Amino acid sequence: MKKIVIEGGAKLQGSINISGSKNSSLPILAATLLIDEKIILNNVPNVKDILTMVSLLETLGKKIKIKNNTLEITSTNKPSYFAKYELVKTMRAGILVIGPLLAKFNMAKVSLPGGCAIGARPVDIHLDFLSKIGYENKVVKGYVVSKKKFSKNKISFFFKKISVGATETAILSSCLSSKEVKLINIAIEPEVIDLINFLNRSGTNIKFIAKRSLIIKGVKNLRGLKYQIMPDRIEAGTYMVASAITNSPLILKNISVVHLKNIINIFKKIGLNIKILSDRSLKVLPGRLKSIRIKTVPYPGFPTDMQAQLMSLLIFAKGISEIKEDIFENRFLHVLELQRMGAKIEIKNNKAKIIGIDYLSGAQVMATDLRASVCLVLAGLVAHGKTEINRIYHLERGYENLVKKLKNCGAKIKIINVR
């Protein structure tokens, strides 16, 4: 077991290089199951979720070499359509292999996914689509078992709820189809677009016909390629909060400013000064924080994955702020830990009311999920005294070298082993 210890109050300075996107890498890694030729992926973050997905792909017939942030992926002569619980239980992205497996074998057995305890994330929309295109799906002892039953010449599917994961499953399961597939009301997060770009580069024919609608014309085979994973916009947003909460200027490099516009706009509204240096870099110049009312919504709205980080910052905004969580119903678990540090936050249903205060006090706290973990790190950077964060394995799932990056900028932060 490990924990993070922070002595709050240190100013930050310098620059931080943002890693590749975890949430882009995972579906693209799943997509490699569709391709028999060699694939090279660059800018892949070295985090636990990626290593878990690599292990999963290796059990499904891939051979993967990792060197720094580059993955070389080739096929073996031992493919499989069985994704075991042991390799899917820790991350919800494990369900994404079901689409490629069905496309390749017309059958799949995939464990129901795990991940963070942020609320129900059922796979019903995934299965609704698979049923529509001709698969019989059963849940047997914690596994989704799917088999091909029929096919249609043309398929049109409307997503009853915008879902990133279900959109990715629909795309991945349709790439090798001989039928034309139309998807309506899809998620358009940058990570979904990155997956589409990867697949089109490999030979798929995916075209948008409206903002949230596209048509997929499948092909028989996809070709190998070299591909650069997009920067992690949530990591970039997290370090923007680190700059603001410590009242310290920081430069962020290896970003995509276009992908960050929705986050930047909100940060400007609460008083941050953000200077765009190029399309790949920016500088955060903190200002006086103002309260705000906001809700999390699908892209291009404010992302649920930035909700906890924003809350840690709004603790110090003058007045009363409100965050409405419209994506996951259980994503306020970090509030109890922030309250242990002195935050004044009230929860009613899916709304959090944050009453601005002047300071937090260091305390023993416990991480409940990935973004809650980093929210507590951000609070610890500015809290008076020592903050100890337990159960940091959540952080290791999604942030590459978080402690090292902050330490290099002047934070008094370290990881220690505990019994």
- DSSP notation for 357-400: -S--B--EEE--SHHHHHHHHHHHHHSBSEEEEE-THHHHHH-T
Coil, helix or strand for 99? helix
Where do runs of H (alpha helix) occur along 123-255? Answer: 124-132, 164-174, 190-201, 233-245
The CA distance from 369 to 360, in Å, is 21
Give the tokens for residue 189. 């997060």
Average pLDDT over residues 389-417: 93
The CA distance from 311 to 354, in Å, is 8
- For the chain, the distance separating the N- and C-terminal CA atoms, rounded to the nearest angstrom, is 6
Check pLDDT > 70 for residue 380.
Answer: yes
Residue type, 343: A
Query: Which residues are marked as active site?
Result: 116
pTM of the model: 0.95
Give the tokens for residue 242. 């680190």
| pLDDT confidence of residue 115 | 42
How far apart, in Å, are the Cα atoms of 52 and each of 144, 196, 397?
Answer: 19, 23, 9
Least trusted range by pLDDT, from 70-79, 247-256, 276-285, 326-335:
326-335
| pLDDT confidence of residue 116 | 36
Check pLDDT > 90 for residue 152.
Answer: no
Angle at 351 between CA 307 and CA 292, to 5 degrees: 60
The residues with which 82 forms a beta bridge, in sequence order, are 109
Find out whether 362 and 384 touch, Cβ atoms under 8 Å. yes
Question: Where do we find the tokens 């391709």?
Answer: 35
322-357 pLDDT, tens per residue?
Answer: 999 887 666 788 999 999 999 999 999 899 999 999
The CA distance from 29 to 76, in Å, is 16
| pLDDT confidence of residue 102 | 96
| pLDDT confidence of residue 328 | 64
Average pLDDT over residues 244-265: 97
Check pLDDT > 90 for residue 287.
Answer: no
Task: Kindly tell me the number of DSSP H helices and DSSP E strands found in the chain.
Answer: 14, 24
The residues with which 4 forms a beta bridge, in sequence order, are 389, 415
Average pLDDT over residues 1-7: 93
Average pLDDT over residues 95-123: 77
Strands (E), 163-319: 180-184, 205-210, 213-217, 226-228, 250-253, 273-278, 281-285, 293-296
| pLDDT confidence of residue 8 | 98
| pLDDT confidence of residue 243 | 97
| pLDDT confidence of residue 330 | 63
| pLDDT confidence of residue 142 | 85
Find out whether 22 and 50 touch, Cβ atoms under 8 Å. yes
Check pLDDT > 50 for residue 70.
Answer: yes
Percent of the chain with pLDDT over 90: 81
The residues with which 365 forms a beta bridge, in sequence order, are 389
| pLDDT confidence of residue 153 | 77
- Cis check for the bond before 300: say yes or no (omega within 30 of 0): yes
Check pLDDT > 90 for residue 91.
Answer: no
Of 292, 290, 288, 253, nearest to 273 (Cα)? 288
Domains of the chain: 2-19+231-417 (3.65.10.10), 22-228 (3.65.10.10)
Strands (E), 279-348: 281-285, 293-296, 320-325, 344-348
| pLDDT confidence of residue 64 | 98
Residue type, 199: L
Contacts (Cβ under 8 Å, ≥6 apart) of 349: none
| pLDDT confidence of residue 241 | 97
130-141 pLDDT, tens per residue?
Answer: 999 999 999 888
Average pLDDT over residues 203-208: 96
Residue type, 400: E
